[in-house]
Structure 1
Amino acid sequence: MITGHKPTGCNRCDAPRPLDARGLCDRCADIVDHRELQARVDEARERQTQRDLERQREFAHEAEAVLGGDE
């Protein structure tokens, strides 16, 4: 057990109640929620970037075929 940790306080900062279902006070819950949301946004952007790159490769391949790459 962490020294000074209050088992009835926030799991992150030991603030007294009220706590949410995760055992976090309102301030810590907002921080954690913001970080989780930002991680999801970053992941979605990365997936979109990968899809865009794949489309660009497909278009480049089609353009090469149309411009006479098959001669």
Structure 2
Amino acid sequence: MVRPGTWIKLKRMSDPYAPVPAGTYGIVTFIDSMGTIHVAWNNGSSLGLIPEVDEFEIVADLAEIKGKPTG
């Protein structure tokens, strides 16, 4: 399940004008009433994802890893 705080990795974005490159990581900031997943991308972009159109994978959920050692 994708929710705010989820780290994702983009596989493909269909936006022909300003796509985020495949392989870019980001964190979900919120999901709007239309279902668009808004992301703070590591490259500085804030383009939203359309779940039925764009492809991404979940990397980690901060709520699940909070407090766990990182190294």
Work out which of the two has the higher radius of gyration on C-alpha atoms and give 1 or 2: 1
Shared fold per TM-score greater than 0.5? no
Structure 1 length-normalised TM: 0.23
**Structure ranking higher on relative contact order (CA contacts 8 Å, 6+ apart):** 2
Structure 2 length-normalised TM: 0.23
Higher strand content, 1 or 2? 2
Higher helix content, 1 or 2? 1
